Each structure stands twice: as structure tokens, then as C-alpha cells.
């Protein structure tokens, strides 16, 4: 464990050119910065509506290589995965086997609206990288709940006293069940880990799925200087473990979390402020249970 400290050759190139048009403190442009640094510019990004398209599409283009725009294909919200797969096939037919096609989709477009296409393309093991930047809600339309929103969280459609009553959908297990060659989680507080995983994904052929937790200032209701801290605490509380799963079974937990109580993570965010001490204990129980299950799966899967 703790492979996040593995040395990574320093990457000087910058492909995200500020100023971006996301909210100050948004985690997503940081994720995009690490993603492109590790991938290089021989990519075509496929971005559906969402905060990603706000920073990445016409008229304001921030993904650039030495003054040139990095190509971005804008798609409907439900079809980024399918469009990315079709684009990759077309490139190969034209003799271009090098350009990496990378879908960058929010959690709403991934867990909910685009899920059918995502599952289809994963099942066919199409040769693309799919990045879900997970801010745990529909950010661009004003912070509605998605199926990635955690239990107990406030959003504009889950307002206390009736906050989100369902658990966050376990997209990691769902994608792993497709038996895809590579799946990894990452977050912006650990950029070396993020870039190492992107590099690893780049060297693999077939469907690669990266789930990147990107804190959202306006949806999670925290002060913008806490973006990296929120990302770090999500890992250290064991809410968002850093892991890799190869071929659906071989699990590596990349960092042993400190096991900080979830309350410390909640303290810096308004979306959990309404929770009672009993509800916080219930959330902690869910996290402890999930961590136990993950450790069990890691040891069971790796023996099999």
C-alpha cells in the first residue's frame, strides 16, 4: 500500500490555460490539469454538457497546446461514452491508432443519464479512456442530487429535514463487474497518484475508467480555499479510497487512510451541517462497513 509516493517524472507541460470559467476553487480544472499533463496533447476530449463543457468548449477554450486548441467533441449528456467509442473507431479506420480518445463526464452524465451507453461501451471493451469527474451532484444546473450524492447530503433537491435518503451508487463495483482492463479512483489532493494512474491507463488497451473526486465549492458549500483539504479528507476518512482494479478482480488499495472520523470532513462543508450526532454515527458506520468490504474484496479477489 501507499504507492502514491512512487516517484513520477516531473511533467512540465501545461495544457490547461487559465483563466478558466469554472467557479473559483472548483476541483475539476485541477483534475483536468493533471489528466492532460499525464496524457500529453495527442488527445481528443469528448465532453457532454456540464461544468466540463463550460470550461472546455466554445467560445472559451482552455485546453491548449502551444497556442493550438486541443480538440473537444461536444455531445449530448447521455451519449459521451458512445460518441467517444465511435470517434476512436473512426480514427483507427483512418489509420490513426495513436490519438487517445478521452471522455470527460460529470457524475450526473455517468452514474445516471449516460449510464446505459457507458455500460455498453465497457461491456464491448472499446478502446477509450473514460474519466468521471465526480462532484457528487449536477453542478452545472445548480446542485441537484445525482445517484452519486452521498446519503445524508443536502442539495437543492434534497433539502433537510429530508436530505438524500439513498446511499451513493457504488459505481466502482458496477464498473469492475464489467471486467474492464483498468479502473482507478483518484482525487486532486494526490496529484502524483492521479497522474501515475492516467499514465498507466494510457499504456493499456481497451476500456479504462477513472473516477476522480472533484470537490464542488457551490454544491458542497465550503470556502474555496478548502478544495484540496476536502479532497484529502475524503480519502483519509476512508469515504473515498484510492484504489485500482485490474481485469475486474485484482484490487490494489494505493493508500492506507488515516481513518480520520467523518465528522472532520463534514465540519468544513455546509451540505452536512444539518446532520445530528446520531446521523453522523450512522454515516460513520456505513463508511466503516464499506472499508471492511473493500479490504475483504482486495484480499479475496487477489487470491482468486
Ligand X SMILES: Cc1ncc(C[n+]2csc(CCOP(=O)(O)OP(=O)(O)O)c2C)c(N)n1
User: Where do contacts with ligand X occur on this chain (CB under 6 A)?
Assistant: 49-52, 77-78, 106-109, 113, 135, 138-141, 146
CB of 40 to ligand X, least distance (A): 24
Comparing CB distances to ligand X, the nearer of 148 and 251 is 148
Comparing CB distances to ligand X, the nearer of 140 and 237 is 140
CB of 260 to ligand X, least distance (A): 26
Residue nearest to ligand X (CB): 106
Indicate the pairing of strand 100-106 with strand 72-74.
unpaired
Long-range contacts of 83-89 (CB under 8 A, 24+ apart): 83/46, 84/46, 84/121, 84/126, 84/128, 84/130, 85/121, 85/124, 85/126, 85/128, 87/44, 87/46, 88/126, 88/127, 88/128, 89/126
CB of 92 to ligand X, least distance (A): 28
CB of 52 to ligand X, least distance (A): 6
Separation of CA 289 from chain center: 22
CB of 79 to ligand X, least distance (A): 9
CB of 22 to ligand X, least distance (A): 9
CA distance 66 to 5: 30
Largest Cα separation within the chain, whole Å, is 60
CB of 81 to ligand X, least distance (A): 12
CB 99 within 8 A of CB 50: no
Separation of CA 287 from chain center: 19
- 217: nearest Cα among 69, 52, 25: 25
Amino acid at each position: 500500500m501507499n504507492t502514491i509516493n512512487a516517484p513520477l517524472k516531473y511533467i512540465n507541460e501545461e495544457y490547461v490555460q487559465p483563466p478558466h470559467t469554472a467557479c473559483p476553487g472548483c476541483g475539476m480544472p485541477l483534475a483536468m490539469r493533471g489528466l492532460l499533463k499525464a496524457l500529453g496533447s495527442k488527445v481528443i476530449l469528448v465532453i457532454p454538457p456540464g461544468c466540463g463543457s463550460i470550461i472546455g468548449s466554445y467560445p472559451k477554450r482552455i485546453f491548449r497546446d502551444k497556442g493550438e486548441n486541443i480538440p473537444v467533441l461536444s455531445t449530448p449528456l447521455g451519449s459521451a461514452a458512445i460518441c467517444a467509442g465511435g470517434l476512436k473507431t473512426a480514427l483507427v479506420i483512418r489509420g490513426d491508432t495513436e490519438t487517445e480518445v478521452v471522455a470527460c463526464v460529470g457524475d450526473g452524465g455517468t452514474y445516471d443519464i449516460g449510464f446505459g451507453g457507458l455500460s455498453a461501451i465497457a461491456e464491448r471493451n472499446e478502446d477509450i479512456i473514460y474519466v468521471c469527474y465526480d462532484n457528487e451532484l449536477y453542478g452545472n444546473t445548480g446542485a441537484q442530487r445525482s445517484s452519486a450524492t452521498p446519503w445524508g447530503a443536502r442539495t437543492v433537491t434534497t433539502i433537510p429535514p429530508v436530505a438524500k435518503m439513498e446511499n451513493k451508487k457504488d459505481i466502482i463495483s458496477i464498473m469492475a463487474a464489467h471486467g474492464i482492463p483498468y479502473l482507478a479512483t483518484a482525487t486532486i489532493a494526490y496529484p502524483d497518484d492521479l497522474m501515475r494512474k492516467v499514465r498507466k491507463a494510457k499504456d493499456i488497451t481497451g476500456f479504462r475508467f477513472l473516477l476522480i473526486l472533484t470537490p464542488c465549492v457551490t454544491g458542497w458549500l465550503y470556502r474555496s480555499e478548502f478544495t484540496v483539504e476536502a479532497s484529502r479528507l475524503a480519502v483519509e476518512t476512508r469515504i473515498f479510497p484510492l484504489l485500482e482494479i485490474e481485469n475486474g478482480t485484482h484490487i490494489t488499495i494505493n493508500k492506507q487512510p488515516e481513518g480520520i472520523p467523518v465528522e472532520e470532513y463534514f465540519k468544513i462543508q455546509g451540505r452536512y451541517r444539518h446532520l445530528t450526532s446520531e446521523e453522523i454515527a450512522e454515516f460513520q458506520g456505513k463508511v466503516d462497513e464499506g472499508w471492511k468490504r473493500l479490504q475483504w474484496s482486495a484480499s479475496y479477489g487477489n487470491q482468486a
